[in-house]
Amino acid sequence: MSKLQQSLDAGHFTFTGEVGPPKGVDLTHVIEGAEAMKDKVAAINVTDIQTAVMRLGSLAVSAKLVERGMEPVFQMVCRDRNRLALQSDLLSAAVFGIENVLSITGDHIVKGDHREAKPVYDLDSVQLLKAMTTLEGGADMGKDFKGRPNKLEGAPKFFKGCVVTPCADFVEPQILKLEKKVAAGAQFCQTQAVYDPAAFETFMNEVRRRNITIPIMVGIVVVKGLGMAKYMNENVPGVVVPEAMMKELSETPKESAKAKAVEISARLIRAMKPMCQGAHIMPLGWDSLVPKIVDASA
Amino acid sequence: MIIQKQKSLEEILKSLEGVQKVFLAGCADCATACKVGGTEELVEMKARLEAAGKTVTGTAVFDTACQQGAVRMKARENEAALAAADDIVCFACGTGSQTLQETLEKRTHPGAESMFVGQVHRLGKYSEKCATCGKCVLDRYEGICPVTRCAKGLLNGPCGGYKNGKCEVDPEKDCAWVLIYKEMEKRGKLDKMRKFEPAKDQSARHTPRAYVWPKRTPPPSQGAKS
């Protein structure tokens, strides 16, 4: 059982961090980033060709973390691989000792740096969770010539995660889809960035009213400054930085940006701690801040 | 219909490098409706190609360019002009171009881009509603196709990328899933949002697709095995 699963099962408020693989093969920074946070988090997400910008793969970096005794959350987006490749990479992940996997739809190709590429989306994030569950049951999604499920030689075991956008401007379809994700096998959930604890509370109340009982880890995107906050408000659906926080950021001198980022992140976590089971901290490169945020949110 | 736009003259001339005499073909169906390959467009294109130094041996609007029978018939009326041409330039969809080339055994250059199968809101405004996936799902989604109208073709609900009911890919486009949800809500069918939709059978989209009636008549109730 993964450390992440153990921690959530035990009812501890659990932290995860996140690193982004480089565009290239130099692992120095990504490993440094992971090393910087590993002692304060149960597991470290490894993003999968994030925002459709071509990079080193999530599977490879996740395997490298395992090799170094760290625990990854292998993120899988549905954008770039069909069901053959997704299932194959899941088996590969299991062989590398990767247990935590996170099913994500994936930002569209128009958001990235290869806008002429062909989007795949052969499976959606719910079907990918179902595929994971099917693999765990010793079969794959295909059928033999008699129409029977194909049997695996050795079945993998995963701790299966999903995502949700709690502050979407129209949240009901998000909750319905979350229910489907749980039914398809999701065992934990990491959310899109939340900056408004009151909105998150409304969301969590609805989630619990619907008997969605899997652990939910609130998403904390470390806000690096006013520019980034503005950008998110304008360009990232479902992410809302409230006016008061915008003001706070506008009054922060550049040299205090990191201290402010820690302060805001920790404040958000403290406010939402009673509502959920953990926090997923996305430092977007400010990896060394993760331990400070964890400590400050105690 | 097949929504199309003309290729630029530059692209057409590049394709025609080394070709002097051409026959211009249009189509009375979609290409005419999209103002790509009707009578007017062929007259205009004839003048532009001639100004660029080409010899146009004749023009004809086929009815329709994707039907081999119609192509043969129109070709008979234009036998001399077709024979005088080195190649054909087709101002219709890619099916039209290839039908002409195959049927008339004459190299046919594309004069248009076939963009999508679309709805005509009015002349000059078109949108895609059906991706011809071969396994219609409209029954499950209250008549709104997520395969085509969701940028990611998601079958089990929206991603997190909608804002004000619009898609992350293009704020001008509606999020299909917000439309589907609202339609289900209006009709008291929200239970359908909860139903797990398994991975789509994509085999009906494996190209090149072909369809042949087993007995020269449509199969009973169209219930043929696909």
Q: Which domains are present in chain A? A: 12-292 (3.20.20.220)
Number of structural domains (chain B) is 2
- On whether residue B8 sits in a domain, the answer given is yes
Compute the average pLDDT of residues A140-166. Answer: 96
Range of the domain at B193: 129-199
Last residue of a domain, one of B116, B140, B168: B116
- On whether residue B18 sits in a domain, the answer given is yes
State yes or no: pLDDT of B222 exceeds 80: no
Compute the average pLDDT of residues B38-63. Answer: 98
Compute the average pLDDT of residues A184-198. Answer: 98
**B78 plus B109 within the same structural domain:** yes
Query: A40, exposed or middle or buried, with CB in 10 Å at 0-12, 13-18, 19+?
Result: middle
- pLDDT tier at B218, thresholds 50, 70, 90: confident
Compute the average pLDDT of residues B34-43. Answer: 98
Are B169 and A108 inside 8 Å of each other by CB?
yes
- Per residue in B127-144, pLDDT (tens digit) is 999 999 999 999 999 999
* Contacting residues of A for B206, CB less than 8 Å apart: none
Q: Which of A264, A272, A187 is nearest to A226 (CA)?
A: A264
Query: B27, exposed or middle or buried, with CB in 10 Å at 0-12, 13-18, 19+?
Result: buried
State yes or no: pLDDT of B123 exceeds 50: yes
State yes or no: pLDDT of A80 exceeds 50: yes
ipTM summary value: 0.94
* Contacting residues of B for A106, CB less than 8 Å apart: 152
Query: Which of A220-234, B21-35, B210-224 has the weakest average pLDDT?
Result: B210-224
**CA distance to partner chain A, nearest, from residue B168 (Å):** 7
Are A192 and B155 inside 8 Å of each other by CB?
no
Average pLDDT, chain A: 97
**B106 plus B136 within the same structural domain:** no
Compute the average pLDDT of residues A218-225. Answer: 97
**B97 plus B25 within the same structural domain:** yes
Share of chain A above pLDDT 70, in %: 100
Are B194 and A179 inside 8 Å of each other by CB?
yes
Compute the average pLDDT of residues A154-182. Answer: 97
**B28 plus B108 within the same structural domain:** yes
Compute the average pLDDT of residues B59-73. Answer: 97
- On whether residue B217 sits in a domain, the answer given is no
Last residue of a domain, one of B59, B92, B116: B116
**B43 plus B103 within the same structural domain:** yes
d(CA A265, CA A268): 5
Q: What is the pLDDT of residue B20?
A: 98
Q: What is the pLDDT of residue A211?
A: 95
Largest Cα separation within chain B, whole Å, is 65
- On whether residue B222 sits in a domain, the answer given is no
DSSP, residue by residue, B159-194: -S--BTTB-SS-TTSBPHHHHHHHHHHHTT-THHHH
Compute the average pLDDT of residues A168-192. Answer: 97
**CA distance to partner chain A, nearest, from residue B201 (Å):** 10
- Per residue in B202-214, pLDDT (tens digit) is 999 999 999 999 8
**B109 plus B193 within the same structural domain:** no
In which region does residue B158 sit, left (phi positive, over 0), alpha (psi from -120 to 50) or beta (all else)?
beta
d(CA A131, CA A29): 33
Q: What is the pLDDT of residue B226?
A: 45
- Per residue in A235-290, pLDDT (tens digit) is 899 999 999 999 999 999 999 999 999 999 999 999 999 999 999 999 999 999 99
- On whether residue B172 sits in a domain, the answer given is yes
Query: Please, which residues have CB within 8 angstroms of residue A92's CB and are 6 or more apart in sequence?
Result: A59
Q: Which of A146, A202, A128 is nearest to A169 (CA)?
A: A202
State yes or no: pLDDT of A66 exceeds 80: yes
Q: Beta strand pairing status for A139-143 and A149-151?
A: antiparallel
* Contacting residues of A for B194, CB less than 8 Å apart: 176, 179-180
**B161 plus B100 within the same structural domain:** no
Report, in angstroms and rounded to the nearest whole number, the Rg of chain A calculated over CA atoms. 19
**B85 plus B135 within the same structural domain:** no
Interface test with B, best of A124, A127, A189 (most B CBs within 10 A): A124
Compute the average pLDDT of residues A106-122. Answer: 96
**B29 plus B85 within the same structural domain:** yes
Contact (CB, 8 A) for B171 and B104:
no
State yes or no: pLDDT of B224 exceeds 70: no
Compute the average pLDDT of residues A168-184. Answer: 97
Q: 3-state class of A273 per DSSP?
A: helix
State yes or no: pLDDT of A233 exceeds 50: yes
* Contacting residues of A for B199, CB less than 8 Å apart: 83, 122-123, 127, 130-131, 141
**B94 plus B25 within the same structural domain:** yes
- On whether residue B99 sits in a domain, the answer given is yes
Query: Please, which residues have CB within 8 angstroms of residue A281's CB and are 6 or more apart in sequence?
Result: A15, A16, A17, A18, A37, A41, A220, A222, A265, A290, A293, A294
Last residue of a domain, one of B116, B140, B161: B116
**B58 plus B150 within the same structural domain:** no
Give the HSE-up count for residue A154: Cα atoms under 13 Å, Cβ half-sphere: 5
State yes or no: pLDDT of B215 exceeds 90: no
**B13 plus B85 within the same structural domain:** yes
State yes or no: pLDDT of A156 exceeds 60: yes
State yes or no: pLDDT of B225 exceeds 80: no
**CATH for B19:** 3.40.50.2300
